[in-house]
Amino acid sequence: MTVMDVSESHLFESAPLRPSSNCDARPVGIDVTTVVIHCISLPRGQFGTGLPAQLFLNAIDFDRYPELAELRDYRVSAHLLIERTGAVTQFVPFHKRAWHAGESEWQGRKDCNDFSIGIELEGTDEGLFEDAQYDALVDTLVALLRRYSTLSFGNVVGHSEIARGRKTDPGSGFDWQRVFRAVILRLSDASRT
């Protein structure tokens, strides 16, 4: 179990920061209320390429990866990327708006980027995720729930839930029950100590 704490500057103290320019300020008066779980692989179905991070940093060499040319003009990011190994990298501080959700709506509110934290898991919509990723995600969610009182379990959702008909991630292979059980256990253990 990794201890992850969110600093006063809204960064994970134990995760490397690779600042993405694909972010901006959240609207004034808008609290973080939601966490959106995504998945990504570049090229699709290939892991460990480093290309998701390069996408968030606008650094993909499209001459080397012509099959990714459709992404050339994309400007996207996430707050965090959790690789297959469980390694966590931060791209955007949590108090800023990362450009991860696109056209979206949750509980009657549009533009989910305004009020959400985006977490990308290295994976595919139809695949399974690694134990190390679940462990890192649980650590992440526990830290975020402890730091931001405006977050709740009911607002930890998949990209598919906020972009219905447009997105399917994190997909049917993602074990929501495993994540929620582990987070609840960790939070209840902490409250007893």
As given in the structure block, the two tokens for residue 6 are 């969110």
CA distances to 5, 116, 181 from 184, rounded to whole Å, are 17, 21, 5
Q: What are the beta bridge partners of residue 37? A: 119, 158
Q: What are the beta bridge partners of residue 96? A: 25
Strands 34-40 and 116-122: parallel
Verify whether residue 120 is a known catalytic residue.
yes
Catalytic residue among 120, 122, 126, 130: 120
In this structure, are residues 41 and 174 in contact, taking their beta carbons and an 8 Å threshold? no
Residue positions annotated with a catalytic role:
120
